[in-house]
Amino acid sequence: MRPAVFFLTFFMFFFVSADIVKVYFLYDPLTDRYTFTNQCQDFRSCKPLYKTKGEVKHKAGYKINPGKENQFDSIIRRASEKHGVDFFLIKSVIKAESLFDTKAVSSAGAKGLMQLMPDTATEVGVKNVFDAEQNIMGGTKYLKKLLKKFKGNAKSAVAGYNAGPAAVVYYEGVPPFDETMNYVEKIHGFYKNYTGKELW
């Protein structure tokens, strides 16, 4: 690798890493506004801008097959109708998050079909994250909230589902985190395979 290329690569890595480590946000639910800062004295009131959802773990021997991929369609359809979210968008998120494994758990603590973090599960009223219907209904409710926040922009909503809405607001679009960029492209690919159409 030439020195200039190495320096640029190092600089970009340092820049993104610095943002991940040093930028925090405070959220006011009354105004739906974020305040960003590089200092945080109390982690009860401010949170890091980005925290990975971790690696998803499945039981040994878990496999996805066509039957498993379609077994939650009736629940997905009800969630789609109830919350006004595209059926295939929900299904694409489930596939990306858990490969349709109701027992999937990530190293960061996300759980179930739509990989709900504990705070998110509480926010959307899910009591049992391993219950397929509760998880899909709750995850879809949260996805609808993100779609509404980003004025129907599915790409921003999907990015927010992975990285959190604060990161999308801060970067005014998809955050430059490898996990999030890959996630957004994965959702797009799944949606296109299901429908033959572009999601954005």
Q: Domains of the chain: which residue ranges?
A: 1-49, 52-195
Assign domain 52-195 to a CATH class.
Answer: mainly alpha
Q: Can you list the residues of the chain whose pLDDT is less than 50?
A: 1-20
**Is 103:198 a contact under the CB 8 Å cutoff?**
no
From the candidates 55, 81, 97, 198, which is the catalytic residue? 97
What does the pLDDT read at residue 50? 87
97-100: long-range contacts, CB 8 A cutoff, minimum separation 24 = 97/56, 97/139, 98/56, 99/56, 99/58, 99/62, 99/64, 100/64, 100/68, 100/69, 100/71, 100/72
pLDDT in the model for residue 135: 98
- pTM, whole model, 2 decimals? 0.84
| Three-class secondary structure assignment of 61-117 | CCCCCHHHHHCCHHHHHHHHHHHCCCHHHHHHHHHHHHCCCCCCEECCCCECCCCEC
User: Dihedral of CA 154/158/161/167: which sign?
Assistant: negative
Indicate if 179 belongs to the active site. no
Q: What was the pLDDT predicted at 187?
A: 98
